[in-house]
Structure formats: C-alpha cells, structure tokens
Amino acid sequence: MPVSTKTPFIAPVAKKECCSSELENHNHSCFGKKLIKTLVGILLVYIIVFVGTEIRNNGKKYFYIGKADKMERTIVVSGYGKVNGNNDIAVTTIGYSNTDKDVAKAQIDNKKVMDQIMSDLKVLSVSDKDLQSNYTIYPDYNYTQQKGQELIGYKVSNQLTIKIRDLSKIPQILGLAGKYGATEVNGLNFTIDDPDNLKMDARAKALSDAKIKAQYLSEKLGVNLGSVVSFNEYEGSNDTYPMKSMSLGTAEGGGGPESVSSGSKDVVMNVSVTYEILP
C-alpha cells in the first residue's frame, strides 16, 4: 500500500488581540517610569553642582587662611574736649523712720511727719516731678543672749529725695527736717540738670582737636588724608565738688545753713577718629 508524502495541514494560530484597557495601563506605566528617571537625573545634576561648589569654596578658604583680602591704609587719632558749666540744681534727701509694735500706728505716725514736710515743699514751689519717695516697712528685731531674737515692732521708713531748682531755697528746705523732727538728712549733691548742650560743645572741641592732630601727622608722614572711616566717643570723668553733708543740728529750728556754694562741673568728651590714607 503506498505511503502518502503530503504534509498535513496545520491551522494558523490567531494572534491574541490586546484590549484597550491593557494598552492604556501599559502607556501610563511607561510614562511614570520616564518621569521618575527624569527627576532622578535632575537631582543627580544638582548634587554634583553642590558638591563641586563646596569643594571650590573650601579650597579658597584654605588658600586664604591668615591673609587679609586688602591692606587698609588708615590713621587713628584721638581728641579731647572739655566745657565747664555751673551747677544749676541741688539734690537732697529728707527722711523719717519710726518703730511701733502696731504696724498701723507706725504708718500713721510716719505719715503725719512726712505730710507736713510735703505740705511745706508745695509752699516753697517744689513740683511733684522733683520729688521721689522710697517707702519701706519691715519687722525690727533685737537680739540678746538671754532672750535671743525678740520682735521690737515694725519699722516704717520714708525717704524723700528732693530736686531743688531754686538754689536760694536750699536753707528753707533743709530746715524742714528740724522743724518737723525728721530723723535723716543726707546732704546736698550739686549737678547740671540738662548737660546736653555742654556735651555738644565738648564734642565739637574734641573733634577739632582730633582733626588738628590728624593734619599734623599727615604732614609729618608725607601722606594725604581721605574721608573718615570710623568714629567713636565716650564721656570722660567730670570734676565736681564732693557731696556736702549737712548734720541734723545744722538745720535745727528751720534755719538751715546761711549760704551754700553750688560750684561747677566739667563736661568732658573723648573721641577716636579713623581717617583713610589716600594712595
């Protein structure tokens, strides 16, 4: 029986068609991967630039350690100015202290004395802005070996600081202490009420003194001065009469001292001026 050599027929396999949803998901996935790669690339570029900049800056800092960027040519001079002014106000303190086991009674007794002093100060045209009180109350103890610490009572202290603008009224004001039995008078301190104008005059003298010194030095050194680079100032010590202590007995009976010398005060300004030296 003859054998057939004819190739058997094989049906072609049909290609599987992709649905539209699968294609859309595939496209989204590809786009997301591309976006991530782009962002990573940008980040790497920034990191490379940042590291390179830091290396360059650190290298510059190391190269310039101990070296000035620019040598400044300057000259520094000092100036001194002093102006004398008469003291126009006096400051004194009158106070009263008392002790009582009844704190309320101690306050009443203290107020009685200080109210009388305050009333007379008003008559002498001392304004409220020139009066300042320091009022304290504290327990007063006494210590003995037999009883140890024992409460005596409560001490009330009222210190009134008075600024006297009319110096002719100093004797009358000090006399109030003896008149009403005040226990403390701290004397007089003379000063200038508004020294700003004197400071301006002293500053002008100090600046003039500094400029003269700078011009002299520039001539001797053979250089030319430029503009002012920096300026500093500070007040110097003031020469004043020391505080004059007045004992309570001096003002006994309201008389006070017959005459008081207010003296004067030196207002001092010191300056430091830095000038540029022109090339």
Q: Where are the domains of the chain?
A: 74-84+197-238+269-278, 89-191
* For range 152-180, the mean pLDDT: 94
238-250 pLDDT, tens digit each: 554 444 444 334 4
Q: Are 65 and 248 in contact (CB under 8 A)?
A: no
φ, ψ (nearest 5 deg) of residue 18 = -80, 135
> Does the domain at residues 89-191 carry the CATH identifier 3.30.450.20?
no
74-84+197-238+269-278 against 89-191: fold identical? no
Please report the pLDDT score of residue 243 as a whole number. Answer: 41
Buried b (16+ CB within 10 A) or exposed e, 199-209: bebbbebbbeb
Could you tell me the strand order of the sheet in which 74-86 lies? 74-86, 264-278, 224-235
What are the C-alpha distances in Å from 19 to residues 22, 25, 26, 32, 196?
6, 11, 11, 21, 95
Over 50: is that where the pLDDT of 18 sits? no
Over residues 73-97, the pLDDT tens digits come to 899 999 999 999 999 999 999 999 9
Q: How far apart are CA 28 and CA 156, in angstroms?
A: 91
pLDDT top residue among 32 and 227: 227
Task: Please give the C-alpha separations between residue 230 and each of 75, 169, 236, in angstroms, as whole numbers.
Answer: 11, 48, 20
Q: According to the model, what pLDDT value does residue 246 have? A: 41
Cα 211 from Cα 270, distance rounded (Å): 13
Could you tell me what percentage of the chain is helix, strand and coil, using 3-state DSSP and rounding each to the nearest 5? 40, 35, 25
Name the residue with higher pLDDT: 197 or 145.
197
Query: pLDDT category, 233, cuts 50, 70, 90?
Result: very high
Q: Which of the two residues, 262 and 169, has the higher pLDDT score?
A: 169
What is the topology classification, in CATH, of domain 74-84+197-238+269-278? Translation Initiation Factor IF3 (3.30.110)
Q: Report the C-alpha gap between 276 and 279 in whole angstroms.
A: 9
